[in-house]
């Protein structure tokens, strides 16, 4: 059967076959098949009246699936292969064996000695292993310049691995098994020879099987291109797929991003590039589309007709902590808004995609981004945290970080008002707020609905109608929840109203621990599922919204509003919201639910 199928790690769309374009069907199972690069078509579901064909593009599985008989979709397929109705027959005709014993996946973490690798990537890979989501034959290689033996890597990695709260059974044993599959190769990021040596080692582990290779570039952006070049020229798979996960930042403006894309495409096809935005892998971000498109009650309200404003809020209660050198070159707008918050906005605001196919979803996201007005300077407020002493403890200011220039104007906080000029969202402010060293850590989406016209109960709310507005809150983290604030009669003989919450609190509703975003994204990359990765045109559209204002902020040397470490951030954010008749929803007294 399929190399990576497992009862424990269903892909996002597993066990469902759903309708795509022109009555075509998209099979969830398809991306799980590891098919050699030369394959053109693969027909599955023998005996099923909806025979599915999976088109291959440059060695990657594209989930465009057609009903047999729909000539428009199958014209391009090779006729002799069209008649194939079983895996066995495919193997015989195509001359490949895709039995799971015959294929491998090698995952190379480039920059394995770094912060992200330790904090997120290795733990996510272990979680996938624990859940039985990695293929039978897999090998993990750490690659970096630091000198380390396999044992030293294993020691380093072992300190970062944790067991799930709800799944501790055999966890220690599983860790040992996992660590035995981890190896290390020391090399320079710009050395084809060093990557060729890695290739040799990978081949030894692959033992002549079809080799699929995933490179995770967990390195500073200035070395992305060299590492891609070397990995692609000296360590690509000869008979399977090769994919590269690229971490953000994808440039620092339209021009540098386009240059990065161009350079990457010298060595890789777009289909091989997996630009990661880990917010897309977060449970509640993934759930956004489910909430909208599989509940009748939300989609009809999802427009300027009923929604007054949308707020996308990110805050952290710690500073740049050791990442000041990186951060100072980028700032909060590039670090959080241009990617994480904008991606959420696009998913939130997009039209219904034709299907759940990656390209259909990404097409809709691009349309939203292209319908947006570039951000204007007058719609942005920036801030920077300064040192603050509280309870006898002194918290450092941003420029106290030794890697940050003393006169840095880099924003660690920003608020912005964005607009989508399309029929659905015309005039609705989308407010973003992102900051470090604030009073709490959270990420949420707040949807404030319009006032009820001619509300019979207006008198009960006094003059502040905002108090009575319905608000839908999607709390992405921490303590995931979706709740809707409604007006309700307080039980009793009188007529007193209060605001109550219809509350879906994940910890109370689901006993299962929520997987880390990196787990989902790594699994998707292994399976060739691109839905949660950023396509180059999305990236271009995202940069064109922010590039002009970023340039203006820098050219005009706009001074950020200073705010104390641990505070609620600059007051300018309130004025910006007030300009559009909005009040930030996170500032009211709101008990955690
Ligand atoms: N850390 C995080 O929380 C997040 C990081 N990212 C992105 O992920 C990527 C990796 O991040 P992170 O792990 O923090 O990065 P690190 O700064 O920890 O760098 C990773 C590794 O790259 C090597 N390296 C560092 N600087 C240089 C340099 N100037 N020249 C050559 N090699 C260098 C080092 O390995 P060695 O010296 O052994 O070769 C280091 O261990 C970056 O692109 C970052 O922007 C994205 C989101 C969050
Ligand atoms: O991409 C980034 O994200 C982290 C926040 O991620 P989270 O999953 O912990 O919310 C942020 O700290 C970092 O500055 C940024 O580069």
Structure tokens at 32: 């799980």
pLDDT band at 460 (very low <50, low <70, confident <90, very high): confident
Query: Is-cis flag, bond preceding 118, omega within 30?
Result: no
- 427: its two tokens: 């005039």
Q: Is 248 in the pocket of ligand 1 (CB under 6 A)?
A: yes
Cβ neighbours, 10 Å, residue 60: 20
Of the candidates 96, 24, 22, the one whose C-alpha atom is nearest the C-alpha of residue 59 is 96
Cα-based distances in Å from 525 to 32, 156, 532: 11, 24, 9
Q: Ligand 1 pocket, 324 CB below 6 A?
A: no
Q: Which atom of ligand 2 is nearest to the CA of 316?
A: 12
- DSSP, residue by residue, 92-104: HHHT----GGGEE
Among 43-47, 178-182, 410-414, name the one with the lowest average pLDDT. Answer: 43-47
Closest residue CA from atom 7 of ligand 2: 279
User: Which of 96-100, 168-172, 391-395 tops mean pLDDT?
Assistant: 391-395
Distance from residue 295's CA to the centre of ligand 1 (Å): 42
- Scan for tokens 């033992």, then name that residue: 207
For residue 260, how far is the Cα from the chain centroid? 20
How many Å separate Cα 439 from the centre of its chain?
25
Q: Which residues are catalytic?
A: 340
| Mean of all residue pLDDT scores within the chain | 85
DSSP code per residue over 328-356? HHHHHIIIIIIIIIHHHHHHHHPPPPSSS
Residue nearest to atom 13 of ligand 2 (CA): 335
- The minimum-distance atom of ligand 2 relative to the CA of 320 is 14
- Closest residue (by CA) to atom 14 of ligand 2? 335
For residue 116 and ligand 1, the question of a CB distance below 6 A is answered with: yes
pLDDT (tens digit per residue) in 197-233: 999 999 999 999 899 999 999 999 999 999 999 999 9
Please report the atom of ligand 2 found closest to the CA of residue 517: 8
Mean pLDDT lowest for which of 91-100, 270-279, 360-369, 570-579?
A: 91-100
**How many whole angstroms separate alpha carbon 560 and alpha carbon 61?**
47
Distance 328 CA to ligand 2 centre (A): 15
322 — pLDDT class (breaks 50, 70, 90)? confident
Residue nearest to atom 48 of ligand 1 (CA): 116
Residue 589 banded pLDDT, cuts 50, 70, 90: low
**Interface ipTM:** 0.98
Nearest Cα residue to 466 out of 577, 378, 305, 312: 577
Burial, 133: exposed, middle or buried (Cβ in 10 Å; 0-12, 13-18, 19+)? buried
Whether 514 is in the pocket of ligand 1, judged by its Cβ within 6 Å, is no
Angle CA 224–225–227, to nearest 5: 70
**Closest ligand to 248 CA?**
1
Task: Specify the higher pLDDT residue, 17 or 355.
Answer: 355
Dist. CA 405 → ligand 2 center (Å)? 22
Q: What is the pLDDT of residues 532-579, one digit of tens each?
A: 999 999 999 999 999 999 999 999 999 999 999 999 999 999 999 999
Look at 38-42, 303-307, 364-368, 485-489 and tell me which has the smallest mean pLDDT: 38-42
How many Cα atoms within 13 Å fall on the side-chain side of residue 456?
Answer: 1
Task: Give yes or no for residue 145 CB within 6 A of ligand 1.
Answer: yes
Paired tokens of 564: 């104390």
pLDDT of residue 454: 87
> Which residue has better confidence, 46 or 367?
367
251 lines ligand 1 (CB under 6 A): no
Q: Any bridge partners for residue 139, and if so which? A: 106
Which residues, in sequence order, are CB contacts of 158 under 8 Å at separation 6+?
Answer: 175, 179
* Paired tokens of 412: 């660690």
**Rg of the chain on CA atoms, in Å:** 25
By three-state DSSP, how is residue 417 classified? Answer: strand
| Ligand with the closest atom to the CA of 250 | 1
**The pTM is what?**
0.86
**Would you say the CB of residue 223 lies under 6 angstroms from ligand 1?**
yes
Whether residue 477 has pLDDT greater than 80: yes
CA of 187 to the centre of ligand 1 (A): 15
CA 219 to ligand 1 centroid distance, Å: 4
Q: Are the C-beta atoms of 14 and 31 separated by less than 8 Å?
A: no
Q: Which ligand is nearest to the CA of 435?
A: 2
Confidence of residue 20 (pLDDT cuts 50, 70, 90): very low
The two tokens of residue 549 are 């204002």
The per-residue b/e assignment along 71-91, b for 16 or more CB within 10 angstroms, e otherwise, is eebbeebeeebeebbebeebe
Q: What is the mean pLDDT of residues 473-489?
A: 96
Mean pLDDT to the nearest integer, 243-256: 95
Residue 209 is given by DSSP the state S
CB of 340 closer than 6 angstroms to any ligand 1 atom: no
Q: Say if residue 168 is exposed, middle or buried (CB neighbours under 10 Å; 0-12, 13-18, 19+).
A: exposed
Q: Specify burial of residue 17 (Cβ count, 10 A radius: 0-12, 13-18, 19+).
A: middle
- What is the predicted pLDDT for the residue at 14? 30
CB 227, CB 234: distance < 8 Å: no
Residue 46: is its pLDDT beyond 70?
no
Alpha-carbon distance of 574 to 572, in angstroms, equals: 5
């Amino acid at each position: 059967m399929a190399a990576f199928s497992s009862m424990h790690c269903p892909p996002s769309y597993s066990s469902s076959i759903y309708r795509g374009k022109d009555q075509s069907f998209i099979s969830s199972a398809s991306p799980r098949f590891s098919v050699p690069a030369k394959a053109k078509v693969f027909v599955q579901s023998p005996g099923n009246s909806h025979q599915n064909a999976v088109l291959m593009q440059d060695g990657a599985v594209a989930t465009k699936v057609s009903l047999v008989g729909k000539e428009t979709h199958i014209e391009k397929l090779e006729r002799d292969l069209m008649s194939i109705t079983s895996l066995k027959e495919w193997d015989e005709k195509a001359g490949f064996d895709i039995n799971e014993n015959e294929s491998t996946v090698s995952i190379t973490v480039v920059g394995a000695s770094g912060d992200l690798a330790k904090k997120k990537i290795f733990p996510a890979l272990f979680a996938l292993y624990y859940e039985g989501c990695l293929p039978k034959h897999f090998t993990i290689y750490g690659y970096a310049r630091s000198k380390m033996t396999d044992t030293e890597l294993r020691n380093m990695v072992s300190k970062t691995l944790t067991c799930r709260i709800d799944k501790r059974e055999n966890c220690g044993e599983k860790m040992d098994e996992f660590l035995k599959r981890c190896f290390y190769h020391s090399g320079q990021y710009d050395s084809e020879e060093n990557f060729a040596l890695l290739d040799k080692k990978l081949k030894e582990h692959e033992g002549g099987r079809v080799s699929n290779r995933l490179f995770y570039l967990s390195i500073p952006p200035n070395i992305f291109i060299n590492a891609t070049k070397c990995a692609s020229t000296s360590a690509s798979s000869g008979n399977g797929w090769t994919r590269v996960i690229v971490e953000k930042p994808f440039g620092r403006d339209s021009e540098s991003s386009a240059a990065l894309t161009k350079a990457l495409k010298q060595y890789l096809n777009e289909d091989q590039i997996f630009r990661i935005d880990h917010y897309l892998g977060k449970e509640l971000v993934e759930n956004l589309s489910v909430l909208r498109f599989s509940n009748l009650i939300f989609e009809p309200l999802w427009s300027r007709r009923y929604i007054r404003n949308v707020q996308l809020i990110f805050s952290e209660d710690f500073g740049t902590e050791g990442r000041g050198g990186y951060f100072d070159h980028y700032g909060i707008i590039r670090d959080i808004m241009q990617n994480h918050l904008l991606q959420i906005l696009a998913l939130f605001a997009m039209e219904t995609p034709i299907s759940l196919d990656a390209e259909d979803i990404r097409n809709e996201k691009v349309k939203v981004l292209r319908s947006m007005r570039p951000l204007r300077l007058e719609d942005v407020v920036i801030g920077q945290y300064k040192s603050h002493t509280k309870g006898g403890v002194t918290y450092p200011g941003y420029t106290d970080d030794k890697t940050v220039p003393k006169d840095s104007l880099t924003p660690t906080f920003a608020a912005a008002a964005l607009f989508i000029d399309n029929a659905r969202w015309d005039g609705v402010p989308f407010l973003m707020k992102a900051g470090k060293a604030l009073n709490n850590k959270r990420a949420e989406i707040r949807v404030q609905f319009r006032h009820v016209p001619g509300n019979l109960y207006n008198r009960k709310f006094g003059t502040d109608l905002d108090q009575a507005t319905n608000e839908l809150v999607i709390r992405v983290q921490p303590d995931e929840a979706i709740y809707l604030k409604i007006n309700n009669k307080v039980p009793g003989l009188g007529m007193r109203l209060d605001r109550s919450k219809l509350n879906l609190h994940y910890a109370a509703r689901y006993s299962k621990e929520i997987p880390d975003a990196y787990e989902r994204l790594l699994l998707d990359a292994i399976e060739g599922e691109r839905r949660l990765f950023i396509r180059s045109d999305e990236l271009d559209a995202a940069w064109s919204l922010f590039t002009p204002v970023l340039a203006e902020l820098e050219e005009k040397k706009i001074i950020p509003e200073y705010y104390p470490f641990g505070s609620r951030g600059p007051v300018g954010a309130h004025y910006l919201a007030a300009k559009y008749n909005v009040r930030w929803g996170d500032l009211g007294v709101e008990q955690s639910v």
